[in-house]
């Protein structure tokens, strides 16, 4: 692998995002860093506003190590407060902007923050739970309205976000050791109680440098940041662009119909594709202008191999790479830049990491055998420190000095890794463990299918039955029997879904993950087709 460095390496005590922003601003000054709608923000402007906000936080009494909750839709101001907190050594606790009720209350109370930054439109979420919030004293509220017109439905002290930008421009950056806590990122909560991953300075630093190195970022690149900044992927894209001195398009949310228009408008050259984004783009009606765009590189989690070659040809994309990682461990495995990607493989571990396929005792399995993907780092503080206030979960997850991903996979003889399924996403039917990921792969190969979600529903006999919720491509129609026949020819009989339901779309998190727990809670409905009741007999 090419060892060329595509970013400037910083010493251990100068790796905080706030310090690096200050350094880049001194060097690059008025060079544009962010495109947001019709606005541009230079490195210097971002740094000056982060300095102002940092000094305003200090004047409010925020100290190094203090927790501050943030709940903002992506905008330049989201970056001002993020880098400001990094500069003064405070701990940012970004919260999913879709959270509400008990989960929101739990996260705010768990992290011990006394100050929360949020958009005005989210104030009603706080109003609903304010009587149960134990520590919050101040709300810093962003609004497009004049300060005098911002209403406060809560009993907490409210400070307009504009006050943060009235601080002095003097750089408040403090020196942070690479192992100090800089962020607490809570898991999505789609399968259980959210766990707060404690992210040290060096983890965040390596998140950006790894992405820049893997995908060969350079100062001529323009990246597309549609992922929210409460998500590790959003932070990764921002940091990689910063470290590589590139430009970045910042969006409030992703739009399939506007992506290629945006790419041409801003000159986007690299695009991080999470979840079903590739399928969503490919499923759009073809246009003569599809290949006329500046996008050269796609970084995918995962690559949709059924359409990958056609996708590259249709949209004139030169390179697709796949990666594997999690909130807890960062970018562990990826397709090396200078090697041909292998079908279905997420790649090789980076130089900073070790990874194996482990059995139930964390013993390494030989090539070809399926087990749990286990990860650890070779450099200190390049993974999470543990789960905040969850010592038992921390010990369980990090037992035997390995981070237990909970994901099933295998290695080939050359050490390339292949993801099979989430351990919690396996359907147990008639004594067989069925990978929902594998069933989805087959269904998604059908020419009329845009995407699908497969999961288990209770059986009247024992264990589970396989159910598939399917979204068809625009204008397409299909009978359930046709899909079953397609599956029957391509998978073991016990994996063929019993239940099929067609929907116009799948429920998703703001980061485009399919919320299977919502589909499971709906279960079998009046619109669900039952293969057994329909009298369809499978061949064995």
**Cα(242)–Cα(211) distance, integer angstroms:** 11
CATH 3.30.300.30 in the chain, residues? 430-530
Q: What is the pLDDT of residue 273?
A: 87
432 or 72, which is more confident: 72
User: Average pLDDT in the 128-143 region?
Assistant: 96
In this structure, what are the phi and psi dihedrals at residue 408, rounded to the nearest 5 degrees? -95, 140
Q: What is the pLDDT of residue 11?
A: 96
User: Average pLDDT in the 80-89 region?
Assistant: 98
Q: What is the pLDDT of residue 7?
A: 75
CATH 3.40.50.980 in the chain, residues? 41-175
Predicted confidence (pLDDT) per residue in 292-336, tens digit: 999 999 999 888 888 999 999 999 999 999 999 999 999 999 999
User: Average pLDDT in the 487-514 region?
Assistant: 88
User: Average pLDDT in the 390-411 region?
Assistant: 95
H or E element in which residue 421 lies: strand 417-422
Burial class (CB in 10 A: 0-12, 13-18, 19+), 493: exposed
3-state class of 391 per DSSP? helix
User: Average pLDDT in the 340-352 region?
Assistant: 94
Nearest Cα residue to 184 out of 198, 195, 205: 198
Q: What is the pLDDT of residue 188?
A: 56
User: Average pLDDT in the 375-390 region?
Assistant: 97
Predicted confidence (pLDDT) per residue in 258-278, tens digit: 999 999 999 999 999 887 788
CATH 3.40.50.12780 in the chain, residues? 202-422
Predicted confidence band at 191 (pLDDT cuts at 50, 70, 90)? Answer: very low
Angle at CA 500, nearest 5°, toward 497 and 505? 125
Ordered DSSP codes for 427-442: EEETTEEEEHHHHHHH
User: Average pLDDT in the 171-184 region?
Assistant: 97
Q: What is the pLDDT of residue 2?
A: 37
Q: What is the pLDDT of residue 485?
A: 95
Predicted confidence (pLDDT) per residue in 418-434, tens digit: 998 777 677 878 767 78
Q: What is the pLDDT of residue 429?
A: 81
CATH of domain 430-530: 3.30.300.30
Predicted confidence band at 190 (pLDDT cuts at 50, 70, 90)? Answer: very low
User: What is the rounded radius of gyration, in angstroms, for the C-alpha atoms of the chain?
Assistant: 24
Window from 74-88, 98-112, 264-278, 432-446 with minimum mean pLDDT: 432-446
* Strands 330-334 and 319-326, sheet pairing: antiparallel
Q: What is the pLDDT of residue 431?
A: 65
**Cα(333)–Cα(330) distance, integer angstroms:** 9
Predicted confidence band at 524 (pLDDT cuts at 50, 70, 90)? Answer: very high
Q: What is the pLDDT of residue 292?
A: 97
The percent of residues above 70 in pLDDT, for the chain, comes to: 97
Predicted confidence band at 182 (pLDDT cuts at 50, 70, 90)? Answer: very high
User: Average pLDDT in the 515-530 region?
Assistant: 93
The arrangement of secondary structure in 41-175, i.e. its CATH architecture, is 3-Layer(aba) Sandwich (3.40)
Q: What is the pLDDT of residue 1?
A: 29
* DSSP code of residue 383: S
The percent of residues above 90 in pLDDT, for the chain, comes to: 81
Nearest Cα residue to 133 out of 159, 155, 158: 155
H or E element in which residue 18 lies: helix 17-28
Predicted confidence band at 437 (pLDDT cuts at 50, 70, 90)? Answer: confident
**Cα(5)–Cα(96) distance, integer angstroms:** 34
CATH topology of domain 202-422: Rossmann fold (3.40.50)
Predicted confidence (pLDDT) per residue in 238-251, tens digit: 999 999 999 999 99
**Cα(94)–Cα(77) distance, integer angstroms:** 14
Q: What is the pTM of this model?
A: 0.85
Q: How far is CA 360 from CA 365, 367, 370, in A?
A: 10, 16, 11
Q: What is the pLDDT of residue 330?
A: 93
* DSSP code of residue 473: P
Nearest Cα residue to 263 out of 295, 238, 237, 216: 295
Q: What is the pLDDT of residue 382?
A: 97
pLDDT mean across residues, the chain:
92
Give the long-range contacts of residues 363-369, CB within 8 A, separation 24 or more: 365/410, 367/410, 367/411, 367/412, 367/413, 368/410, 368/411, 368/412, 368/413, 369/410
- Is the predicted pLDDT of residue 42 greater than 90, yes or no? yes
User: Average pLDDT in the 101-128 region?
Assistant: 94
Q: What is the pLDDT of residue 462?
A: 65
């Amino acid at each position: 692998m090419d060892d060329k460095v595509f970013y400037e390496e910083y010493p251990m005590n100068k790796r905080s995002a706030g310090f690096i922003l200050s350094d880049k601003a001194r060097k690059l000054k008025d060079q544009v860093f962010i495109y947001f709608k019709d606005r541009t923000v230079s490195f210097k402007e971002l740094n000056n506003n982060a300095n102002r906000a940092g000094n305003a936080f200090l004047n409010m009494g925020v100290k190094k190590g203090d927790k501050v909750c943030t709940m903002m839709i992506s905008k330049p101001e989201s970056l001002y407060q993020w880098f400001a907190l990094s500069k003064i050594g405070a701990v940012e606790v970004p919260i999913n902007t879709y959270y509400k009720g008990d989960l929101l209350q739990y996260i705010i109370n768990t992290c011990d923050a006394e100050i929360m930054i949020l958009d005005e439109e989210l104030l009603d979420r706080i109003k609903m739970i304010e009587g149960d919030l134990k520590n919050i004293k101040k709300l810093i509220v962003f609004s497009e309205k004049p300060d005098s017109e911002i209403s406060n439905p809560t009993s907490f002290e409210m400070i307009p976000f504009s006050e943060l930008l009235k601080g002095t421009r003097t750089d408040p950056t403090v020196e942070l050791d690479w192992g100090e806590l800089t962020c607490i990122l809570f898991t999505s909560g789609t399968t259980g109680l959210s766990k707060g991953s404690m992210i040290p300075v060096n983890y965040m630093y390596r998140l950006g440098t790894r992405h820049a190195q893997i995908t060969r970022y350079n100062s001529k690149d323009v990246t597309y940041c549609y992922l929210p900044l409460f998500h590790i992927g959003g932070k990764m894209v921002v940091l990689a662009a910063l470290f590589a001195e590139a430009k970045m398009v910042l969006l409030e949310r992703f739009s399939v119909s506007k992506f290629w228009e945006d790419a041409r408008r801003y000159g986007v050259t690299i695009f991080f594709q999470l979840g079903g984004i590739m399928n969503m783009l490919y499923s759009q009606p073809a246009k003569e202008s599809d290949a006329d765009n500046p996008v050269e590189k796609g970084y995918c989690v995962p690559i949709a191999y059924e359409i990958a070659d056609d996708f590259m040809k249709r949209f004139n994309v030169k390179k697709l790479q796949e990666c594997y990682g999690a909130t807890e461990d960062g970018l562990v495995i990826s397709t090396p830049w200078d090697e041909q990607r292998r079908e279905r493989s997420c790649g090789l571990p980076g130089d900073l990491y070790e990874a194996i396929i482990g059995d139930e005792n964390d013993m390494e399995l030989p090539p070809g055998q399926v087990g749990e993907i286990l990860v650890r780092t070779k450099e200190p503080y390049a993974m999470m420190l543990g789960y905040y206030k969850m010592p038992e979960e921390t010990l369980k997850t990090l037992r035997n000095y390995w981070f237990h991903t909970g994901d099933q996979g295998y290695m080939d003889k050359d050490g390339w890794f292949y993801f099979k399924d989430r351990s919690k996403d396996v359907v147990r039917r008639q004594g067989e463990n069925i990978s929902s990921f594998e069933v989805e792969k087959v269904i998604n190969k059908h020419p009329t299918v845009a995407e699908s979600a497969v999961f288990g529903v209770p059986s009247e006999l024992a264990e589970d039955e396989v159910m598939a919720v399917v979204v068809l491509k625009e204008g397409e129609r299909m009978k359930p029997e046709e899909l079953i026949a397609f599956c029957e020819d391509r998978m073991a009989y016990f994996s063929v879904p019993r239940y099929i339901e067609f929907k116009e779309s799948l429920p998703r998190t703001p980061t485009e993950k399919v919320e299977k727990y919502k589909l499971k809670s709906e279960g079998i409905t009046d619109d669900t087709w039952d293969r057994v009741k329909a009298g369809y007999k499978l061949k064995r």
